[in-house]
Amino acid sequence: MKQTIIQIGNSEGVIIPKEYKQKLGVEKGSEIYLQMTPDGVLQLSSYPLTEYSVAPKFLSIVDKVNKKYKKTFQELAEK
């Protein structure tokens, strides 16, 4: 989605469309967090971002490990 930077008082800003606000679970007055990824993508989140938030490859590996060892992890959690 293309957005335009607009004048807001003495500052500038971008309007966050309603659908994105709903997905983030934020409303007027909510704090949001911004971070630039190493490849230049701006991320917006309703929670503090970490170095792992900007590592899709890392997260995909975690997902694969969790799926592969789901039963083992469940058994360990029960002990």
The mean pLDDT value of the chain amounts to 84
**Is position 51 within any domain?**
yes
**Is position 20 within any domain?**
no
Provide mean pLDDT across the span 68-76.
91
When pLDDT is cut at 50, 70 and 90, the band that residue 13 belongs to is very high
Residue 31 domain boundaries: 27-78
**Is position 38 within any domain?**
yes
| Number of domains the chain is built from | 1
**Is position 34 within any domain?**
yes
**Is position 4 within any domain?**
no
pLDDT tens digits for 24-51?
Answer: 888 899 988 888 877 788 888 887 776 6
The per-residue pLDDT for 12 is: 95
**Is position 73 within any domain?**
yes
The per-residue pLDDT for 72 is: 92
- Percentage of residues in the chain having pLDDT higher than 90: 28
CB atoms within 10 A of CB 26: 16
Dihedral (CA of 60, 55, 49, 16) sign = negative
**Is position 15 within any domain?**
no
